[in-house]
Chains A and B, each alone.
Chain A
Amino acid sequence: MKRIRIIIYLFLISSLSFSCSEIHRGAIKIGALLPLTGSGALYGQYAKQGINLAVEQYNDSIGKNGKKIEVIYEDSRSNAKDGLSGFNRLTYMKVPIVFTEFSPVVMICSPAADKTKTILFNSGAQNPNIRYQGPYIVSNIIDANIEAENMAKYLISKNIKKVCTYVINTDTGVATEKTFVETFKKLGGEILLQERHSQGELDYRSTLTKLKKSDPQAVYLVSLVDESALILKQAKEINFHTQWVSYASFQGPEILKIAGSAADGTIYTYPSFNPSSPVAQDFAKEYFSKYSENPEIYASTFYDGVTFFIKALKAGNNSSEDILHYFMTHKFYGVTGMTDFNGKTWVDKPVEFKIVQGGSFRHLEGY
């Protein structure tokens, strides 16, 4: 009994000391709910690097006496269960804003964000349904609907009118498929087949055989990067050659590692990112000097999100209500272009087209 009591005391003391070390008195605390481990850890790392750079620049600029920003990170592991736990811990610490990504995490945390009036700032998830989640859920990255519409228009402009869709059976996959199919049909295209697969499947041969038989001019693929890579690999192995088209999540190192040459020629939409603008160039320079790598789009969207938040802070907004009002009524020109909510909780930014060519992701000339 005595031993148990000692253990409880030690636990309480260690918890107390941990809490004290976590919270720097006087700092402005913001939350970041990212996949720091698990399958989405790479995207979490991009986001973290973007956030840290923006916060570091601000903290360096205000001097010793100013109120610094402190980021409290929680690991969402890119799944809803861990995401909600992490979000609850952050709201318990009364942070006004939580930066996050991954659709299941954003969707599950949305009701809690609205209830606690905490801004859930999404800079990575593209589920089209996020825009309907509530006033406190704002996104500075375009959703997959916008990408699907652009891809449908692109295919029609290239006289590709007989297409199949192959999507992952998740909210994002299904919603994106719906938008693509509706837009494509409206523009005069024909959908030959609509196929879906479950998350975590490894063998896609049966469905690919079916798609091959329908002889489409193109297949619109909406899936996770790992699954997309396996699909392209297996398609090549059964000699199924078609024009594969996809969306932003397609771009990831796994595509090149797993699918290799099978991914060559795949065209996909991507949030527009103009690396030649002065803001983007400064950011890329700073980013490279800090991390010795070029920034990915997600590092840029998170950097923009935090920088926009800092602008709101500098304008004297401290509560989540005031910050949200600032977002809705102000424009922000950042690394990823113009963020203009204009009363909405989502943005409509330009889309660019990219292609896999010779083992790298390149901008598609002319688009």
Chain B
Amino acid sequence: MLSQIVVNIIIAASLYLLISKSFSIVFFTAKFFDITQAGIISFAAYFAFLFYKQIGFDFWLTVITSILLAASLGVIVEIIFYKYLQKVNADSLVLFITSLGIYIVFQNAISLIWGNSARSINAGEIKVGNEIFGGYITTTQLIAICTSIVLFIGSSLFINNSRTGKKMRAISSNAKLSYIFGIDYKSVLLCSYFIGSALGAVAGLLVAFDTGITPTMGFNLLLSGIVVVIIGGIGSDWGLIGGSLLLAIAQNLIAYYLSSQWMNAIAYVILILFLIWKPLGFSGKRLKKIEI
């Protein structure tokens, strides 16, 4: 049974890693808790349901279209709402509340279109997973773990080494100074929204093809991602890895030894403990900020 628990932990941790990365990319540059990301995750999953199950698209066409549409949705929200609010100097609380409102609209839209019940995209024959040291893991789950790790490393490399990634880091450090140095804040912000939303969309698809979809799935996933970002420390990749593992271990052990109904509760207990005793997370580092 231990091997099955380990398998369950790895599956959950890899997913949290991807979600936390998607959330932290947006938070990194926009500097507020963008709850709309939860709606983007759900929409990506439902887009896949629409294209794959209802319309009958090919698998890869479904994946690409769903990710592009969901990522575009993130960008559209930024252009229509956040851009305007930032123009009128709205603070992060106003942006947060707006994002919460947009998320509720998204969730209701999904409920109205597809209903509230759980749905499954994977229509193939249900098979016993592949055995690894006594634990069982399906091929979809193996793909999900690999995809999450590859995208996590890829996006980290992009932010650390690419020209756009460096601009994102510069804006995160000091937006005004970056502007003086000629960095186009708006386009970099749009880029971070696109990448963050696309990563969230991939996470949504991975869950959709592995377990199933519900209109609230995005919110539950994003909350786990936010907890990981806070306990891992903002801006630290190792912190995110440690946070994902800690959360996945805690949740799976509590589900195994107590009840699955405590899974969300334990996430918040960990969050509160970190906020009290280690508010900067595992990494313990503040983001570098260069002042003029």
Q: Do B118 and A230 have beta carbons less than 8 Å apart?
A: yes
Contact string against A for B residues 125-140, beta-carbon threshold 8 Å, 1 for contact and 0 otherwise = 1111101000110100
List chain A residues, Cβ under 8 A from B178.
Answer: none
Q: Looking at the assembled complex, report how far the CB atom of B174 sits from the nearest CB atom of chain A, in whole angstroms.
A: 41
The docked-state distance in angstroms from the alpha carbon of A281 to that of B198 is 55
Q: Which residue of B lies closest to A263 (CB)?
A: B126
| Known contacts A209-B4, A262-B126; A238/B136 CB under 8 A | yes
A238 and B4 contact, CB distance less than 8 A? yes
Whether the pair A237, B116 counts as a contact (CB closer than 8 A) is: no
28 A-B contact pairs sorted by A residue (CB < 8 Å): A38-B116, A39-B115, A39-B116, A197-B260, A198-B261, A200-B214, A201-B260, A202-B212, A203-B211, A205-B4, A205-B8, A206-B252, A207-B255, A207-B256, A212-B1, A225-B117, A226-B118, A227-B118, A237-B128, A237-B138, A238-B128, A239-B129, A254-B117, A254-B118, A258-B119, A258-B120, A258-B212, A262-B126
Contact of B126 among A39, A195, A261 (CB under 8 A): A261
- With a CB–CB cut-off of 8 A, which chain B residues contact A238? 4, 128-129, 135-136
Interface residues on B, range: 35 or more
- The residue on A at minimum CB distance from B120 is A258
- Asked if A178 is an interface residue, CB under 8 A from chain B, the answer is no
Known contacts: A212-B1, A237-B129, A239-B129. The answer to whether A206 contacts B120 by CB under 8 A is: no
**CB of A179 within 8 A of chain B?**
no
Please give the distance in Å from B74's CB to the nearest CB on chain A: 22
Instruction: Please name all residues of chain B whose beta carbon is closer than 8 Å to the beta carbon of A205 when the two chains form the complex.
Output: 4, 8, 11
> Within 8 Å CB of A234, what residues of B?
211
Interface string of B217-245 (1 = CB under 8 A from A): 10000000000000000000000000000
Contact of B119 among A207, A226, A237, A261 (CB under 8 A): A226
In the bound complex, residues from chain A placing their C-beta under 8 Å from that of B123 are: 257
What A residues does B4 contact at CB under 8 A?
A: 205, 209, 212, 238
Q: Which of A203-244 contact B (CB under 8 A)?
A: 203-207, 209-210, 212-213, 224-227, 229-230, 233-234, 236-239
Chain B residues positioned under 8 Å from A39 (CB to CB):
115-117
C-alpha spacing A212/B115, complex, angstroms: 32
Q: Which residues of B contact A37 (CB under 8 A)?
A: 112, 115
Q: A254 → chain B, closest Cβ, in Å?
A: 7
A258 CA / B119 CA spacing, docked (Å): 8
Task: State the CA gap A262–B127 with chains docked (Å).
Answer: 8
A257 to B1, CA, bound (A): 29
Partner of A209, one of B5, B112, B116: B5
Q: Is A259 an interface residue (CB 8 A)?
A: yes
Task: Say whether B187 faces chain A, with CB atoms less than 8 Å apart.
Answer: no
1/0 contact trace for A6-43 toward B, CB 8 Å? 00000000000000000000000000000001110100
B111 interfacial by beta-carbon distance below 8 Å: yes
Q: Does A196 contact B (CB under 8 A)?
A: yes
Are A207 and B260 CB-contacts (below 8 A) given A39-B115, A202-B118, A236-B126? Answer: yes
List 8 A-B pairs, minimum CB-CB distance, nearest first.
A206-B255, A39-B117, A226-B118, A39-B116, A258-B120, A202-B211, A262-B126, A238-B136
